[in-house]
A and B are shown apart, each in its own frame.
Chain A
Amino acid sequence: MPVNPATPGVAAAPSAGSSPVAHHTITLTVNGTQRRMEVAPWTTLLDLLREQMELTGTKKGCDHGQCGACTVLVNGQRINSCLALAVSKDGAEVVTVEGLAMDGTLHPVQAAFIEQDAFQCGYCTPGQICSAVGLLKEGHARNADEIRELMSGNICRCGAYPNIVAAIEQAMQQAGGSAR
């Protein structure tokens, strides 16, 4: 896995400077690497990833669970990481967009997004891709209409939706599922 080992200095740094608030020690497996982290009770999984672990591939679009830009896979399920407190995910396995490619080979969903031009500015893209990976795993989407419905938690202001649907159909076909 293309993952950096934990940097002790970063991992141990309390998130609020000289805050006297008790920090909690949690263990997370992020993109295949297990890390022990000190986190403040109010730190979201999203801020932990972006600010403390420098995994900025996961985006903050609204911080309210309304746009889906922060979607990551926790124990294989897609969630809005802005709505999850990091302390509540102790022991979880987290996969972010940085952890999808294997040894430099893109995940089929990533490759399909490029081929179908399923993004423009790219800001919602990591969330779309993680959400699509979760969707494929769920196995509920059988056609384009169901993809549209089940991907509606991920907003794309550039309006790449038709291409996002095409990319997911392509990845679904490669995985042997049916999309239409």
Chain B
Amino acid sequence: MSILLTENTTFIVQGITGREAVNLTRECLDYGVGAKIVGGVTPGRKGREVHGVPVFDTVAQAVAHHGSPIDGSVVTVPPAFTKDAVLEALEHDIKLIVIVTERIPRRDVAQMVERANEKGARIIGPNCLGLIVPDVIKMGGIGGPAKDAAKAYTPGSIGVMSRSGGMTTEISSTLTAAGLGQSTAVSIGGDAIIGSTYAELMPLFEADEETQAIVIYTEPGGRMEAELANWVTENQSRLPIVAFMAGKFMDEMPGMSFGHAGTIVEGKADTAAEKIVRLREAGIAVAEEIAEIPGLVKDLIGEKVAS
């Protein structure tokens, strides 16, 4: 199985006539069993088609045309218009929203997230490449063109979550080369506030029978790793986790500020070194290099089976 997506997931692309969105639409349609992109939205472009996908002015028109609720939306509109696009999708009961757009002020992100919570919807991103269920469906630019995505991703039992879109593919490709396929790989986004953190996606992987282990890619900044460590400790997760931490050099650069009033709210574990300690304390294996990840995953799955 998978999390969040199945071969029957329907979605729209908001901002579908943009250059990158046109490519993304092609890639998603071509991949796996073929994404069910049931419409696109660009204000003022109603009546056009993008790779055979009908374009509408509003989400309401797309939903009406489809004739039943639409599961998801990939939002790729400029930062100043993203919040409105997401609120529009939420208003029409779309429950899974992937925000590709970068450089969205966090006040807007927080507003979108709060509204999504009220509507029982989930946001992935912003500043992400989306998610992929190997050989089945991809929602977003993750992995690139279908033939490139097929090289890196194979079906299997590893859940992947990454703050870097490109590293989601690098890590999945490394797992694939070692015979470890992926259940679902999620590019969660690199911003300070994102719709779904590692800890928020863990219950979904936990509930997915196919998933046997988790691999995460992480960077300095924020408290998401500490949140994950807490979640793992408190919930006695069945899933072994392997983490890779990039950007250790940033700990040593002067001028990096880690102390501010935020630390008394979020806690004080901002440096790469402190994150690694915290993850290890929670029983999460931390790989020194990407190439070590498959071995660690195999060891941990083996331990689970043995015990």
Asked whether A and B interact, the reply is: no
Q: Which residues of A contact B (CB under 8 A)?
A: none
Interface residues of B (CB under 8 A from A): none
